[in-house]
């Protein structure tokens, strides 16, 4: 059975962020993840992790002005200095919180910038981030996002991300494979997991349609969880879904689909 991590950006949202750690532990999770820690002192997050014996699986590099609709700046040629400053900030939090992987969101393509320039910028930024993280034995992830939910997102398909990883050429850069985004863009979930497992650093889940908990849509999670076990996947599976009702009320999927 996979090890599941509660995504605190999506789950237990009826309580303040710092209270979600306790709720996660009470619900039986041993790991957590979230988009960003930067609105809270690292010491406050560390306190919650230690108090509830939780492992922080990952968080993202700073991704621009999220409230204004930005979804990453790694492909933005005019914001390279900001991106590099963000890598430094993420590393300071990672040291304090014991995080061993950080995810990079490529961002939406800014208007009027040639695709080749966006790609060149993204490759250079990923090389910079991977080098900085490697110095502290931390992995870097890059994640394709479906363009139905986020129109214009620069990195949207698994093959595109894998080719990017090859071009960057960093041994600590791997794929964050979100089954929901992949299902919306391309399908072939089981085949991709089997073929590319060695290059997948983290798996995330949500069902489709609706992005709700497993068992609410078309994805055969019972099969995929057993498939991950057969393949020997040793990483975490992040529960990055929107509960159809309450978080606790929708957690029966773990028993129903995993035995």
Catalytic residue flag (residue 82): no
Point out the catalytic residue in the list 33, 44, 143, 167.
143
Query: Residue 34 in 3-state DSSP?
Result: coil
Q: How far apart are CA 55 and CA 219, in angstroms?
A: 27
Catalytic residue flag (residue 240): yes
* CA angle 217–220–222, rounded 5-degree value: 120
φ, ψ (nearest 5 deg) of residue 253: -60, -30
Q: Which residues of 220-238 are buried (b: 16+ CB within 10 A; e: fewer)?
A: ebeebbbbbeeeebebbbb
CB atoms closer than 10 angstroms to residue 159 = 11
Using CB atoms within 10 Å of the CB of residue 28, give its burial: 0 to 12 exposed, 13 to 18 middle, 19+ buried. exposed
Point out the catalytic residue in the list 44, 120, 186, 240.
240
Query: Of 204, 205, 143, 203, which Cα lies nearest the Cα of 173?
Result: 143
Q: Would you please indicate which residues are annotated as catalytic (active-site) residues?
A: 143, 240
């Amino acid at each position: 059975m996979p090890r599941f991590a509660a995504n605190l950006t999506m789950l237990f949202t009826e309580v303040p962020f710092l209270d979600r750690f306790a709720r996660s532990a009470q619900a039986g999770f041993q790991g957590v993840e979230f988009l960003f820690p930067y609105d809270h002192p690292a010491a406050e997050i560390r306190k919650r992790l230690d108090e509830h014996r939780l492992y922080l699986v990952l968080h993202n590099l700073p991704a621009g002005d999220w409230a204004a609709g930005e979804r990453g700046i790694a492909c933005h040629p005019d914001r390279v200095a900001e991106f590099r400053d963000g890598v430094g900030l993420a590393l300071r939090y990672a040291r304090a919180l014991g995080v061993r992987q950080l995810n990079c969101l490529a961002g939406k393509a800014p208007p009027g910038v040639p695709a080749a320039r966006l790609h060149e910028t993204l490759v250079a930024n990923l090389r910079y981030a991977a080098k900085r993280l490697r110095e502290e034995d931390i992995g870097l992830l890059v994640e394709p996002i479906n363009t139905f939910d986020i129109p214009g997102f620069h990195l949207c398909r698994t093959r595109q991300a894998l080719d990017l990883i090859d071009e960057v050429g960093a041994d600590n850069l791997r794929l964050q494979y979100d089954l929901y985004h992949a299902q919306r863009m391309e399908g072939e979930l089981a085949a991709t997991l089997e073929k590319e497992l060695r290059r997948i650093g983290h798996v995330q889940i949500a069902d489709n349609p609706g992005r709700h908990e497993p068992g609410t849509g078309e994805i055969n999670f019972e099969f995929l969880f057993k498939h991950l076990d057969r393949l020997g996947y040793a990483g975490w599976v992040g529960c990055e879904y929107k509960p159809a009702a309450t978080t606790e009320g929708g957690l029966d999927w773990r028993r129903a689909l995993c035995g």
